[in-house]
Structure 1
Amino acid sequence: MNLYLIRHTKVDINPDICYGQSDVELADSFLEEAEIIQKQLHGKQFDKVFSSPLSRCRKLSEYLFKSEIKYDNRLMELNFGDWELKKWDNLSGSQFNNWCTDFVNTSCPNGESFIDLHNRVNDLLNDLKNQSHLNVAIIAHGGVIRSLLVHIQNKELKDAFKREIKYGEILNCTL
């Protein structure tokens, strides 16, 4: 099965803000970025399209695909809990320090750890393995795509953020 992992386009929020599952707006450059992605996908046929239900992914998936889109909560970005929409510079304390030291296993207050995100993304991958799709598009977030990649490439979760995933980037891999 060919997976096309597509990260949403740029968002209209200060990069100093933690926004995980908060539903933030897309940047004014959305149409320009979406057209570039559409050209890169030109001629490719997809048996199934999955998307995070958050508006930054939903808007892109609806722009790119006229076929049925399956919105799946398992593709939502990491839930930063109490840290959502707070400035990164204002986060402190032992829980924040523990999370910075071990984001894989440490949960954000009233939120998730990276292993929590990875487990729900893995659940989706297991569902996909049991289906006979040839080409699948997944429109998601940086954290979700990193989780998918470490699973597919058989890497350790702690190494998930060693690779940058750019806004609007398309990654093609085989499951």
Structure 2
Amino acid sequence: MSALWLQRHAQPLVAPGICYGRTNMAADDKATAAAALALQSAWAAEALPAGTVWHSPLQRCSQLATALQAQAPAFALRACDDLAEMDFGAWEGQRWDDIAREEMQAWTADFMAYAPGGGEALATMMARVARALDAARQQALDTGQPVLWISHAGVAQCAHWLLTRGQRLPLAKDWPSVKLTYGEWLRLPLFGEL
């Protein structure tokens, strides 16, 4: 069975309600250790061999990848820019409630093409996640094993959308298609067989 295991980073060290997308920050150390232990236990329970852990280069994800490797040293780590969170441009560091209503409406009206805060459009993010999924499929074919990513909620939403809805473009009302809490993971079919 070729699956993508995608784990979200632990609780970042940021106040609630802040837009922090591409902002590079650490996560809570205890929550990170607990998330790594939970994933390693689930991986071991299925008797899966340690392989390469692809992770976002942002600190909160590399921190979790390193914690996982500390518990299971056979895992190799590989940072992947395609797994970074969405860049919200000028919205980064602002309270979601403080972002102008007109800007939020412009984003929801043109959900795929609008670049929130002048950052990254969802279409651009979907394209890079699709590229990462192509690499994951190739890895699964080469190894015969599941693929493990440590990333962000936005990447999980894009991957879930692409793997379950294919080429249909999302509207704002469709989003998110899946929700991951901090430290949680999901398994997705890479080839449609799960």
Task: Report if the CA contact (8 A) 1:10-1:29 is conserved.
Answer: no
- Give how far 1:91 is off: 0.7
- Give how far 1:48 is off: 2.6
1:122 aligned onto 2:130: yes
- Give how far 1:46 is off: 3.8
1:166 aligned onto 2:181: yes
Alignment of 1:34-45 (within 5 A): 34-42=36-44, 43-45=47-49
Which sections of structure 1, spanning at least 5 residues, go unmatched?
Answer: none
Alignment of 1:19-168 (within 5 A): 19-30=20-31, 31-42=33-44, 43-65=47-69, 66=73, 67-92=75-100, 94-131=102-139, 132-133=142-143, 134-154=145-165, 156=168, 157-158=170-171, 159-168=174-183
- CA offset digits 1:18-45 (Å, max 9, x no partner): 0000012212532333323332222422
**1:83 partner amino acid:** W
In 2, Cα distance between equivalents of 1:93 and 1:173: 35
Q: TM-score, normalised by structure 2?
A: 0.81
In 1, Cα distance between equivalents of 2:28 and 2:103: 32
1:2 aligned onto 2:3: yes
Task: Report if the CA contact (8 A) 2:26-2:63 is conserved.
Answer: no
Give the superposed CA RMSD: 1.9
The structure where helix makes up a greater share of residues is 2
**1:39 partner amino acid:** S
Q: TM-score, normalised by structure 1?
A: 0.89
Q: State, as a whole percentage, how many aligned pairs show the same letter.
A: 27
- Give how far 1:146 is off: 0.8
Which sections of structure 2, spanning at least 5 residues, go unmatched?
Answer: none
